[in-house]
């Protein structure tokens, strides 16, 4: 189990950061849909952590571990997804002093996850990143995609992995992770107008690759 580092501001008491694996298997842990609580609710948790209640950070880990892992897997982390997520939560804790509590925690965290995944892929020179998408476990897909037939799902994933990276990222965020436009902009570090235009072009490309299939407009 990893020992919590200290945030940049007000140092909490010593505690330990629950691992992603332990949280998934822990009794009494309430599963959530990945969207977490409201901004004011999470701001209160952040204030508790900054005020010395470092155990409160486990509430944020519990709320966002599932969507963070989906993000890591969908961006190509594969078997290293748990490690990416764990490191992302550690880095988020260290940077908690710079987090603006009037903002949502989830997109801020997912941007860290995306950066950590990119760092992993660069450091290991993973040229087989796109092949990871072809073997996604059902649980990392959104409920709508998971309900599709295996043949249809394979067609969609094949078309997705064939897209240029910028288009694959925006489709992944908007439809597989179900982030809204502003959250996607935060995660990818793009202006909202760029998110909108790239999503439009990505869907156009998907329609050309799947001419006999319905692609959401």
Of 28, 59, 61, 64, which Cα lies nearest the Cα of 45?
59
pLDDT of residue 40: 79
115 vs 157: CA distance, rounded Å: 22
Q: Read off the pLDDT band of 147 (50, 70, 90).
A: low
DSSP 161-212: HTS-HHHHHHHIIIIIS---HHHHHHHHT--HHHHHHHHHHHHHHHHHHSTT
Q: Which domains does the chain have, with CATH numbers?
A: 1-128 (1.10.1740.10), 141-217 (1.10.10.10)
Band the pLDDT of 155: cuts 50, 70, 90. Answer: confident
Nearest to 92 by CA among 207, 8, 198: 8
Per-residue tokens: 19: 């691992």
The pLDDT tens digits of the residues spanning 83-140 come to 999 999 999 999 999 999 999 999 999 999 999 998 988 886 545 545 555 556 655 6
Give residue for tokens 């001419």. 211
Q: At what angle do helices 81-94 and 105-124 cross, to 10 degrees?
A: 130
């Amino acid at each position: 189990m990893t020992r919590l580092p200290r945030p940049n501001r007000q140092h909490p008491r010593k505690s330990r950061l629950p691992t992603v694996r332990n949280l998934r298997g822990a009794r009494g842990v309430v599963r959530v849909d990945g969207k977490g609580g409201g901004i004011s609710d999470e701001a209160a948790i952040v204030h508790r952590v900054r005020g010395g209640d470092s155990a409160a950070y486990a509430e944020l880990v519990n709320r966002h571990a599932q969507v963070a892992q989906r993000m890591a897997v969908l961006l190509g982390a594969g078997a290293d997804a748990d490690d990416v997520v764990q490191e992302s939560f550690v880095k988020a804790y260290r940077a908690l002093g710079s987090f603006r509590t009037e903002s949502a925690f989830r997109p801020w965290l997912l941007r860290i996850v995306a950066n950590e995944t990119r760092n992993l892929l660069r450091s290991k020179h993973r040229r087989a990143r796109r092949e990871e998408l072809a073997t996604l476990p059902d649980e990392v897909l959104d409920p709508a995609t998971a309900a599709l037939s295996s043949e249809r799902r394979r067609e969609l994933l094949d078309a997705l992995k064939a897209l240029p990276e910028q288009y694959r990222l925006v489709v992944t965020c908007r439809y597989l992770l179900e982030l809204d436009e502003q959250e996607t902009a935060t995660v990818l570090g793009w202006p909202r107008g760029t998110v909108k235009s790239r999503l439009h072009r990505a869907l156009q490309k998907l329609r050309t690759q799947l001419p006999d299939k319905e692609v959401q407009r």
